[in-house]
């Protein structure tokens, strides 16, 4: 498929960065712990598992990505999942939805493989007045608030697996939430919460640099939790979303 070699190189690069960057492990470890707390007991599928870190927090999870890697269980396209109907209790996605080319097709597939009452938990970019400046000018992925996330675009052979629109989650779950519930009646939206104020951008994410030492990440994240109600609508960098299969 187009972009296969670059995508595989991405996975190796992410895994190396994870090993070498303690601040990254602290920030994303907090993300994984929050996500795992929302899951039902039972078989769990991670889409876009990347460097495969969920298993540190959830033993037995089925890890997949668009590319193969030794630490993953399978290669899987989120829009055409190679799993039988109603075989999972949970789906976990960290920074995946905004890479999905056809959201309606994805949600149909997610509904198919989830059991009734099953949960899908996501953590995605949040587009707020301050974070939008960061994502538009200091992040390589585009922000297109004009895209219709409910339309099914024609497949493009030139589209790479890491192409993205960081606006998609905010459009679906904030700006057009009523449309989401109308277009995807298989899902009940249980939680949409702002997350991440200062620590995530200061950590540098998967870049090599970090402006916050690893030992300060945990106390600073606790402080952020107390400020989210006040500052989240203005500057949150992350959106935490929980869906339930009806």
The pLDDT tens digits for 194-220 are 999 999 999 999 998 999 999 999 999
**% of residues, the chain, pLDDT over 70:** 96
First to last CA, the chain: 35
pLDDT of 64 higher than 70: yes
- What's residue 55's pLDDT? 95
Spatial distance between the Cα atoms of 89 and 39, rounded to a whole number of angstroms? 8
> Token pair of 5, please?
């070699």
Average pLDDT over residues 144-149: 97
Average pLDDT over residues 84-100: 98
pLDDT of 83 higher than 70: yes
Which residue range is the domain that position 185 belongs to? 4-153+161-245
Q: What total of structural domains would you count in the chain?
A: 1
Residues 6 or more apart from 69 whose CB is under 8 A from it? 8, 11, 12, 52
- What's residue 157's pLDDT? 83
Q: How many CB atoms lie within 10 A of CB 67?
A: 21
CATH number at residue 84: 3.40.50.150
- CB 162, CB 98: distance < 8 Å: no
> By CB neighbour count within 10 A (0-12 exposed, 13-18 middle, 19+ buried), where does 42 fall?
middle
pLDDT of 161 higher than 90: no
Question: Residue 4: pLDDT band by 50, 70, 90 thresholds?
Answer: very low
Question: Residue 155: pLDDT band by 50, 70, 90 thresholds?
Answer: confident
């Amino acid at each position: 498929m187009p972009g296969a070699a670059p995508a595989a190189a991405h996975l190796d690069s992410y895994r190396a960065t994870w090993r070498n960057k303690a601040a990254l492990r602290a920030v994303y470890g907090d993300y994984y712990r929050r996500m795992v707390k929302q899951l039902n007991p039972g078989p769990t599928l991670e889409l876009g598992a990347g460097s495969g870190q969920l298993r540190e927090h959830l033993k037995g999870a089925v890890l997949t990505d668009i590319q193969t890697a030794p630490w993953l269980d399978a290669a899987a396209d989120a829009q055409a999942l190679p799993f039988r109907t109603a075989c999972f209790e949970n789906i976990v996605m960290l920074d995946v939805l905004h890479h999905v080319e056809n959201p309606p097709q994805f949600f149909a597939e997610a509904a198919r493989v989830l059991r009734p009452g099953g949960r899908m938990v996501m953590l995605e970019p949040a587009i707020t007045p301050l974070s939008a400046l960061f994502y538009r000018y200091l992040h390589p992925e585009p922000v297109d608030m004009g895209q219709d996330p409910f339309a099914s675009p024609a497949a493009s052979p030139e589209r790479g697996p890491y192409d993205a629109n960081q606006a998609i989650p905010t459009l679906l779950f904030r700006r057009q939430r009523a449309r989401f519930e109308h277009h995807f009646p298989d899902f009940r939206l249980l939680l949409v919460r702002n997350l991440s104020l200062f620590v995530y951008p200061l950590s540098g994410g998967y870049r090599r640099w970090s402006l916050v030492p690893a030992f300060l990440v945990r106390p600073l994240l606790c402080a952020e939790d107390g400020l989210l109600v006040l500052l989240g609508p203005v500057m949150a960098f992350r959106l935490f979303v929980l869906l339930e299969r009806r």
